[in-house]
Every structure is written in structure tokens, then in C-alpha cells.
Copies of this chain bind each other. A is one copy, B any other.
Amino acid sequence: MNVDSILAHVDANLDESLERLFALLRIPSISTDPAYTADCRRAADWLVDDLATLGFAAETRDTEGHPVVLAKADGPAGKPRILLYGHYDVQPVDPLDLWQEDPFAPRIVTRPDGGKMIVARGACDDKGQLMSMVEALRAIKAVEGELPVPVTVLFEGEEESGSPSLPAFFAKSSAELRADAAFVCDTGMWDPTTPAIAMSLRGLVAHDIIVRAANRDLHSGQFGGPARNPNHVLAKILADLHDEDGSVTIPGFYEGVTEPSNAQKANWDSLGLTAADFLGPIGLSEPAGETGRTILEQVWSRPTCEVNGMSGGYTGAGFKTVIPGEARAKVSFRLVGDQDAMKLRAAFKEFVEARIPSDCSVEFIDHGAGPAFRVSETWSMLQKGAAALEEEWGKPTAMVGMGGSIPIVHSFKHELGMDTLMIGFALEDDNVHSPNEKYDLTSFHKGIRSWVRVFASL
């Protein structure tokens, strides 16, 4: 494959690439607001038409919600089939008055430092990112006359609403989705000049717990003392979850936790992130997690337990001397390595139940439970991807972890047995989900070039 010619083609045709991206950005495909249902379909149809120009057999597939774009194209024999995933839906735009211009009138804005950026809702998340993959394929096809590999495309329209229709679609269409690997362009750079590949995602197990004591709210004057206060029971449970060193105290919690390799640790250390870098912007200074772990270890390779919500009794203005009948908390765990979500759920319940007085009760509401995801450091596509990025950006690729989850990547792994290469070009200041979302022109341009190099490396 003549990579230099393809890259030159990308450079020469950037304006046309931008024009296509702008056409997609002009469609207000807000998935959470029913007023934009027709626009979501319009965005899906636009992508189908565009993919068809690249030779894809492309169509929309109806779901309970917004349609999925599914497209398939052949490529050179003997090459692995790649599933490209992205989402064409965008976040709502409120508060609209904080936008400097119409969120769906994309434009190029030049910053004081001379940098150019594409400003529009979806410019980064995820229209700009998904089009960088499409434009890379377009350039390869233009120069080479064919796609670099067999490609399947899955662009959904409900990512910003929690992908409610995707499980049913997966169940029905898994055979059509099978591929050798998935490429997802929905993550970020380490910093504006350092490319990154996300190698791992933490898993998640989440629960509501409801501690019940008296059969009604009590007056703390009449009953304070003898009557059990479920706020106290709950506070004790929540306080017991961590020890003085920030470790989680649930028996067996750390079973299945693996340590990153020395190479991995060295790559992380080379990024030079300090506690002040990480905590300063959010107004904190003292790392709170397990002692003896760096910030990056903590968010990328260590499991956590967080109380995401708690409520009990009177919480309004003024004061009410009530002993409530119940108190509630939302508790979630981030999992890493081979931690078993179901085993942890059982251990957590046992831990809680052991702390419930005999005349009180506890109810659990189970929310999602999914294990962590990670690719092997020796996965060939990972190594090829890292090398391709280094070539484009002139710097070693940061092999990062991600503290959160990307449900689709977990599904690819656990339902289709497929690893995912997560490469993205978002920057921290892209205002994703906020007013004045932008995507640097460099992210888009060098993003296309990066994908050209990644595809060429296969």
C-alpha cells in the first residue's frame, strides 16, 4: 500500500472531508429528545448514503429506538475483518444561551494561538471521530482502488441515551457483527501532542441498598435512643467499606486483581502525571485512594468502591427532628483484571447483611454488573496501532487505561469474543457534553492520517 500517496491525498482533500463532516454536523441528531427523532433517522440515512459511495452494502436497521447503521464491504483476501463502531447521535445542547453560535451551524474558529478548531455539537463526540475513520477508508480506496481490509460498520444512534436498543440488536444480529477485531474512535489523546491507545476499561457493579427500621418516620424526641435509626446503620456500613489505608474491606474483594506489567508501569511513569496535575483542576490536593499507588495506577489498574448517592430522613431546608423509617445508598464498584462481578456482588451483600440489626431489614436493587476489559500487551493489532500512531505523531504512544466503562467494548469482548482497538483524538478541552463543543482541526486531520497508517499496518 502506498501510504505516502494516501496521506498526500488526505492532505489535498481535507476541505472535502470537512464539507462531509459539516453536512453530518448540521443534522441535530439528539437522541434523548423525541423532538429530534426524525433528525436521528436523517443522520443515519446520511451515513448509509455516504458509506454506499465507498462501496459498502449499507442500510439502516430499525430498533425500538433510533435506527442502527449497518454496512458491510469486502476487502483483500486473507486480511482480518474489522468492525468499526461509532455513534451518530449527540448530546442535547442546553443551556443554549452559553453557545457562542448555533450548535448545528458548524464552523472553523481560529484561536488566539493560531490553532483551528471545528465548533459544533458532535464535532468531537462522536461525529468528528467516526468520520476520521470513514475518511481514512475513503482516501485508501481513492488511491488503492479498494478498501484495505474487509470492513463492517456499526454506527448506533443511542449512545448518548445509554444504548437501550443495542442489547436486542446484538442478540438478533450477532452473526452479522462478527469480525476479527473492532476499532472504536471515541477516546482521547494523552495530551495535544501525544497519541494514546486505551488498553483497559474498568468493569462496574452497582447496587441500591435500602435499610429499613421502624414502620414509619418517628419523632426523635419521642423515640430517640431506643429506636434504631437507619441513617446510623447505613453510615456504619458505608464507613466500614474502606479501611484507614483506603483499601476496600469486603472479604475477597481483591481476588482476581492483576498488577500491570513492568513495561506498562514504565509507560505510565513516563507520562509524568503528578497528583497536582490530576487533582488540582478539581480543587483537591491530597490523593484519597489506596496508599502506595500512583494516580494512574489507581484510576487504571485498581478496583474501587464508591458511594455514589445516599439519602435518609429530612434533607430539605431548615430542620426536622425525624428518625426515618429507611435510608438508602447507591454503591458501585469499579473492577479490574479478572475480578468476578457476580462473586463480588454476593460478597457485598453478605458484608451489608452482617451489619443489619436483627429487627431491621435490607433490600438490594441490582444495577448493571460487568467485568473489566483489557487487551493483552502482546496483541498484534495493539502493537501495530501503537507503531502507526508513533509514526504519525512522532512520539511514543501512551498505552493508557480508562477508569470508566464503554459498554459496547465489553459487549464485543464478552458477547462476540472480539478485542477492541480504542484510538481517539479528543482533547481535554473539547467541551464534550457541554456548550461550544469543538474538535481541533489537527485532531480531525491527523486523526484521518493516523487511521490511514493503522489500516495500512494491517
Binding site for B on A (CB under 8 A): 202, 204, 206, 208, 213-216, 218-229, 231-232, 234-236, 238-242, 275, 278-279, 282-290, 293, 295, 298-299, 302, 304, 306-315, 318-324, 327-330, 332, 334, 357-360, 367-368, 402-405
**A354 CB to nearest chain B CB (Å):** 15
The answer to whether B359 and A284 have CB atoms under 8 Å apart is: yes
- On chain B, the residues within 8 Å of A289 by CB distance are 225-226
Q: How many Å lie between the Cα of A232 and that of B275 in the bound state? A: 20
Shortest distance from the beta carbon of A414 to any chain B beta carbon, whole Å: 18
The answer to whether A307 and B313 touch across the interface, beta carbons within 8 angstroms, is yes
> Which residue from chain B places its CB closest to the CB of A301 in the assembled complex?
B225
What is the interface of chain A mostly: helix, strand, loop, or mixed? Answer: mixed
Are B220 and A286 in contact, with the CB atoms below 8 A?
A: no
Q: Which residue of the partner chain B has the closest CB to A403?
A: B221
**Would B284 and A224 count as touching, CB distance under 8 A?**
no
7 tightest A-B CB contacts, nearest first: A221-B404, A215-B283, A225-B298, A239-B239, A225-B289, A235-B238, A309-B313
Q: Are A309 and B282 in contact (CB under 8 A)?
A: no
Q: Which residue of B lies closest to A162 (CB)?
A: B318
Tell me the complex Cα distance, A240–B307, Å: 17
Report the minimum CB–CB distance from A316 to chain B (whole Å).
8
Contact for A310 among B225, B302, B327, B357, CB less than 8 A: B327
Give CA–CA (A301, B309) in the complex, Å.
Answer: 36
Contact: B318 with A308, CB < 8 Å?
Answer: no
A299 / chain B contacts, CB cutoff of 8 Å: 222-226
A161 to chain B, nearest CB (A): 12
Contacts of A404 in B (CB 8 A): 219-222, 321
Q: How far is the CA of A242 from the CA of B357 in the complex (A)?
A: 15
B204, B302, B308: the one contacting A314 at CB < 8 Å is B308
Q: Please tell me if the beta carbons of B308 and A227 are within 8 angstroms of each other in the complex.
A: no
Q: Is the CB of B275 within 8 A of A226?
A: yes
Task: Tell me whether A334 and B227 are in contact in the complex, defined as CB-CB below 8 angstroms, given that A284-B214, A308-B322 are known contacts.
Answer: no
A288 in contact with B235 (CB, 8 Å) = no
Q: Is the CB of B308 within 8 A of A330?
A: no
> A285 to B358, alpha carbons, bound, how many Å?
8
The answer for the CA separation of A218 and B231 in the assembled complex, in Å, is 24
Residues of B within 8 A of A225 (CB): 288-290, 293, 295, 298-299, 302, 304, 334, 403
Residues of B within 8 A of A239 (CB): 232, 235-236, 238-240
Given that A204-B321, A206-B319, A288-B225 are contacting pairs, would A312 and B307 also be in contact in the complex, using a CB cutoff of 8 Å? yes
